[in-house]
Chain A
Amino acid sequence: MSNTSIKITSDKLSLDECYEFVTDDSCGGITAFVGTVRNSTQSKEVTQLDFSTYKPMAIKEMQKIADLCLEKFSIKKIAIHHVEGMLQIGDVPVIITVSAPHRKAAFEACEFAIDTLKESVPIWKKEHFSDGEIWVNAHP
């Protein structure tokens, strides 16, 4: 049975699903990171966000992160789920859950996974404002 759950979907993400996936009798704790769409960037009001992906490669890169977490930290299971498509303020673009026998490894792996996802997974967000739109991180 796989210890990793990787998903990119245009459906609403489920924290329950990510939580259920990582539960394990050998574990003493589960950590979760839930990303949410913020209502402003550099004091400009954001109206919505559009996530696009290079899906086959993004899945591979997310799988690499999950595999690396299992190798690097003493954890049992990890789920990394991300959405694509248009999201509104307060919606959830990403959920990561990690289970481990001891809590420290679960916290560390969860932080490592979201930090690495933001650096390497080919997913792009376009922020929509009331007066225009911008690809995040794209310009100097």
Chain B
Amino acid sequence: MKLTILLFGISTDLVGATSLSFSLSSGSSVLQLKDKLQKQYPQLSQINSYAIAVNESYASDELVLKDNDVVAIIPPVSGG
């Protein structure tokens, strides 16, 4: 399945892109996506920690992804 990955804050600088097209075997969970992202972009481990949002909502590691989901990498937020 194909996913769109959006990058924000420091993750944009680390990966050098604001969005990516990403392929993953169907039925994969958020955790599996994180593992694969980490392998492909080891520089992401420089961030304290990051959350994942799927289709504009925070997602748990167990959530199963679907084709065409929009996944955002959310580094520690610092608004206000």
Which residues does A use to contact B, with CB under 8 Å? 35, 51-54, 56-58, 60, 82, 93-94, 114, 117-126, 135-140
Contacts and interface: CB of A to CB of B under 8 A. Distances in A.
A39 B26 CA distance: 49
A66 to B, nearest CB: 15
B62 interface: no
Contacts, number: 79
B9 A124 contact: yes
By DSSP majority rule, is chain B's interface helix, strand, loop, or mixed? loop
Given A54-B72, A60-B57, A124 B8 contact: yes
Contact of B46 (A57, A82, A139): A139
A63 B22 CA distance: 30
Given A57-B57, A82-B80, A138-B75, 18 more contacts: A53-B79, A54-B6, A54-B74, A117-B79, A118-B77, A119-B77, A120-B58, A120-B77, A122-B53, A123-B79, A124-B8, A124-B75, A124-B78, A124-B79, A136-B78, A137-B76, A137-B77, A138-B76
